[in-house]
Structures are given as structure tokens and as C-alpha cells.
Amino acid sequence: MITILAALFVFGVLVTVHEFGHFITAKMTGMRVDEFAIGFGPNIIQKKYGETLYSLRIIPLGGYNKIAGMEPDEPADEGAFKSKPIPSRMLVILAGVLMNFILPIILFTGIFAVNGLDLSVDKPVLGGVMPGKAAVEAGLQPGDRIIAVGGKQVATWNDMVLEINSYGEKEVVLSAERNGVTRDYTLKPEYDKDYGKPLVGISPQIEHKNFSIFESLKMGFKYTEYITLMMLDGLYKIVTGAAPADVTGPIGIAKIAGEAAENGWMPLLNLTALLSINLGIINLLPLPALDGGHFVLLILEALRGKPLGEKAATMIQSIGVGLILTLTVWAVFSDISR
């Protein structure tokens, strides 16, 4: 049950926030929004304010807006999407993606403000030693301060790691201080297939840091940027064949959401933020039926001085919908096979 509720929450928040971006900018630019709905299926409640019908529907998996004039066969009347200047239409198209990047900033800010963050201490003091690894076998213990690596003095954890890594799988001598006494320990790093490099099996000390709301906001921006760049790098590697296309579909995401929810609100909100960034990046891809595809068509219209014909636009949209459905089915089958 918790998996279903968590999935409904995550999908509902992601899609509703995305659609709200389109909705609010359409209103700001004078476009007519015939309907803004939260959820799908039969109405629970609906109310018309001005020209827009607002509805809450029974299946809380996202939502949608119906902006006048977005379909190729709709008339270009005064409040229609297609009757507005290209910059206005571009803003409306990109606003959904923008909201997908604003949401994680807000969520990460809240997480940092409430939870703080565990940070590694940049001193060459051992916080832990891994069982079965070279460090513990040599006799090193948590709390030992590393003075030198191979006779070379080190002042920070990073300096120490770089020096140890320079030895590869060769023996290295660490000079460590314990209770005011310094002695040497000889270690032979061993290749670890999980990490993909030689390890001696040590970890830094960890300290918990709390942040003010302004510090949390700054961290929210920086962490959103970091995750975005990491995801873009992963997408580049998939496209170039440097990494396998390991796709997680809606079933897999629902399972992950359920596992996150079992650990509390913070992990669930963190997952929602990560998926929001992912959704934003995917929607920017220049594929028909995605926001990125619509944006490319607007660029072409600006260059040509006129929009695509109704027949061509309908065909492109149909291809896009077919492609999205195919990818969705593939992702679902990937989930089932796992």
C-alpha cells in the first residue's frame, strides 16, 4: 500500500508542477487556458473561474492543461497559443521544464534546512577502517592521524588520498600518530572491483553541519546544478555508447518511491527532487511531443517566417506520441524483466 501511495505522490507532484509552469505562463502571456486539471479520470470537483475550468480528478497521477490553439487543427483566435508572438510561445513551452528545476531547488533547500548535512572532515584523521582491507590488517584504527605517506608529509585528507593513490597497488608506508606516539604502517592496496580501483580501506571522520535558510538555499542551487550535470554526463555516455541504457520505467520508479517512503519523508522528497531534474532533462530533448521538440519547431518557424503546415505538424506530433509510447512500453517491460 505504501508503494502505491508513494508513487501517486511522486508522479502527482512531478506532473502537476510541470503543468503549472505551462499554465501560469500561458495566463501571463494572454493565452486562453480552457482547463487546468489535477489528476486524471472522472471529476471529483470542478469549478469555472473566468475562462478556465479548474478540476480535481479521481486518479492523482499528475494533471494537464488545455491551452487554446495548441493543436494543429484548432483556430488561431485572439487567445490562442498559435496567435501569440514566438517569444511568448517559447516561454510557455519552456516554463514546464523550468518548474522541474525550481522544484528540486525548493525541496533540497528544505531538506538541508531541516536535516543539515553530514560532511567529511578534511583532516588526515581516520574515521573508519573497512574490515578485511589493508589498513585494518596493518593495524590502523579509527582516530589515527596520518602524518606522512611514503615519507611525504600530508596536511589534509585530500592530500593523503592523492599520495596513496599514486602508489597504485604497490606497497605504501603510512606514518600515523596515536596517543602521541608515531609509528609506521606498511599497506598494500588491493584492487576492489566494486569501486574500480585499488583501496586501502579507510574513510574520513564525519561531522554534522546545520545550515541557515540562506545557506540552505545556496546549497539547494548548488546541489541541483551538481545533479543536473551528473545526469547530463550520464545521458551523454548513454547516447555515445560509453554506458549501457539502463532504463527504469514507471513500475521501477514506483518500487523505488515505496522504498524511499518507508524511510520517511526526507528520502521521498529527495527522490522527488532527483526525478524532477530527470523529467526536466528528458523534456528538453528535441523529440516530437516533448517540450524540446515543440521548442525546435518554434525555432524553425522563426527562421522560416511561417509555421509548419497543419498536415506536417500533425504528422510530427503523431510520430512523437508513437515514440513516447514505444519508449514507455520498453521501460515497463524492462521493469518486469528485472
Residue length of the chain: 338
Helices (H), the chain: 2-28, 86-115, 134-138, 157-165, 213-240, 250-262, 265-283, 291-304, 310-337
Cα gap 272→5, rounded to integer Å: 13
**179 in the Ramachandran plot: left (φ > 0), alpha (ψ -120 to 50) or beta?**
left
- Helix/strand/coil (H/E/C) assignment for every residue in 224-265: HHHHHHHHHHHHHHHHHCCCCCCCCCHHHHHHHHHHHHHCCH
Q: Which three cell numbers stand for residue 251?
A: 513500475
User: Exactly one of 19, 78, 177, 301 is catalytic; which is it?
Assistant: 19
Angle 229-230-235 (CA atoms, 0-180°, nearest 5)?
Answer: 95
19 noted as active-site residue: yes
Which runs of E-coded beta strand occur in 21-80? 33-49, 52-67
Residue 164's closest CA among 179, 194, 186?
186
Which residues are the active-site residues?
19
